[in-house]
Amino acid sequence: MTVSPHPAHHVGPLVTARLVLRRVRSGDVAAVTRLWTDPLVRQHLGGPVIESVVRIRQRRIVGAPGFHAVVRAEDGVLVGLVTVEDGARNGETEVSYQFLPEHWGQGYAREAVDAVVARVLEGAPSVVALTQEANHPSRRLLEAVGFEHAESFVEWDARQVLYRRRA
């Protein structure tokens, strides 16, 4: 993954009503590793990441621009990860996200994704997000924060839906 300089990558922590989004720290690596290896989290993302790739990612994620650790403001518990990748799809900025299952259904993902996308749109005309057609919770989240269906296609042996939100 190539993450290039973007205003969303260099501004300090992003604070919402309940969350703080900041760069990944070494203390976050165990929770982030769970995101990469949890079968429920990875159900619509091609399955758990293999061990050798996890080790490479663990060395690269701490402090990396474009990766936003999502922690609860009240207690600092990491609940998820939102990633911003410039030029990922046809030159557009792409936002992706993963949240630990025990934090699903509490609105954290919606709050975090909405905040990150709003920041990205301060410096980009649009942002895209991709999910599997079968991932109905993710599709509802994207639509709830203002993304619109842009196209559908088959990739990685599954029906995919590309969403776009414009500034």
Residue with tokens 């990860």: 81
In the chain, count H helices and then E strands: 5, 8
pTM, entire model: 0.90
Tens digits of residue pLDDT in 46-85: 889 999 999 999 999 999 999 999 999 999 999 999 999 9
Residue 91's pLDDT band, with cuts at 50, 70 and 90, is confident
Q: What is the pLDDT of residue 141?
A: 97
**What structural domains and CATH numbers belong to the chain?**
7-125 (3.40.630.30)
Residue 136, phi then psi, degrees to nearest 5 = -60, -40
Q: What is the pLDDT of residue 6?
A: 52
Residues composing the chain: 167
Helix axis angle, 51-61 relative to 29-37, nearest 10°?
A: 140
Helix (H, G, I), strand (E, B) or coil at 53: helix
Cα angle for residues 129, 133, 138 (degrees, 5° grid): 55
Tens digits of residue pLDDT in 93-107: 999 999 999 999 999
Quote the tokens at residue 39: 């079968």
Strand partners, 14: 21
Instruction: Please state, rounded to an integer, the average pLDDT across all residues of the chain.
Output: 92
